[in-house]
Amino acid sequence: GQNIDQPTEMTATEGAIVQINCTYQTSGFNGLFWYQQHAGEAPTFLSYNVLDGLEEKGRFSSFLSRSKGYSYLLLKELQMKDSASYLCAVRAEYGNKLVFGAGTILRVKS
Amino acid sequence: NAGVTQTPKFQVLKTGQSMTLQCAQDMNHEYMSWYRQDPGMGLRLIHYSVGAGITDQGEVPNGYNVSRSTTEDFPLRLLSAAPSQTSVYFCASSRRGQKADTIYFGEGSWLTVV
């Protein structure tokens, strides 16, 4: 079976740091993706981890521990435009099929 | 700079009607997929293709058909629409291989079945 868990909602203050966690149990693993999705729009790619450790990309960082089935997305210097849903997705071993979590709605307040 | 193009953007169907959601990509990608997104459930894979003439079922294939006669196009057919198929549908494409940035999503198709 495939199971990916993320918190449903989070609220943070503009300028702060927020960490969105993702735990997964999947039959195969060939990388973990984070996507950002604004309401009414398509998901847009944020980050990708296939090896353990931290990947940094500007204000966004993503961490992976394969032994623990755990990842997090770290957003620094939060801006109002970061208010969106953040989706954690695991790529199965075969091809590029993705298994998605339900998403975390992040609300940034001033 | 078309990328992945989905049509229509919005559609209302009556129960029992059939229709086709179109998906086309101009990046010569081998892999194409259809997902549906329902509130509180994330995206779920409906059907998948690794190349022209090859398709595979995903997590929720019932009620949907696909074909891949060309590399560019991957239409999704609803044979007899049901209210449970009210959802947002996303088409995605990617090239063969493991590079993270090759999974592109279309803008989505909002379908309501009444």
Is there a contact between B103 and A50 if contact means CB atoms under 8 Å apart? no
Residue A73 scores a pLDDT above 90: yes
Alpha carbon distance B77, B65 (integer Å): 5
Residue A65 scores a pLDDT above 70: yes
Alpha carbon distance A82, A86 (integer Å): 10
Alpha carbon distance B36, B46 (integer Å): 7
Residue A68 scores a pLDDT above 80: yes
Residue B100 scores a pLDDT above 60: no
For chain A, state the CA radius of gyration.
13
Q: In chain B, what percentage of residues exceed pLDDT 90?
A: 83
Q: How many residue contacts between A and B have a Cβ separation below 8 Å? A: 59
Q: Which residues contact B39 (CB under 8 A, 6 or more apart)?
A: none
**Nearest Cα to Cα of residue A32 among A44, A23, A40:** A23
Residue B99 scores a pLDDT above 80: no
Residue B104 scores a pLDDT above 90: no
CB of B106 within 8 Å of a chain A CB? The answer is yes
Residue A69 scores a pLDDT above 90: yes
Residue B97 contacts residue A31 (beta carbons within 8 Å): no
Residue A92 scores a pLDDT above 90: no
Instruction: Give backbone dihedrals phi and psi of B23, rounded to 5 degrees, phi first.
Output: -140, 130
**Nearest Cα to Cα of residue B3 among B70, B102, B98:** B102
Is there a contact between B42 and A101 if contact means CB atoms under 8 Å apart? yes
Residue B101 scores a pLDDT above 80: no
Alpha carbon distance A6, A101 (integer Å): 7
Residue type at A44 in one-letter notation:
T
A101 chain-B contacts, CB cut-off 8 A: 42
Q: Choose the weakest-confidence range: A41-50, A99-108, B63-72, B94-103.
A: B94-103
* Average pLDDT over every residue of A64-81: 97
Mean pLDDT over the full length of chain A = 93
- Give me B51's structure tokens: 């190349």
Is there a contact between B33 and A96 if contact means CB atoms under 8 Å apart? yes
Q: Is the peptide bond before B61 cis (omega within 30 degrees of 0)?
A: no
Residue A22: per-residue pLDDT: 98
**Nearest Cα to Cα of residue A71 among A33, A29, A27, A108:** A33
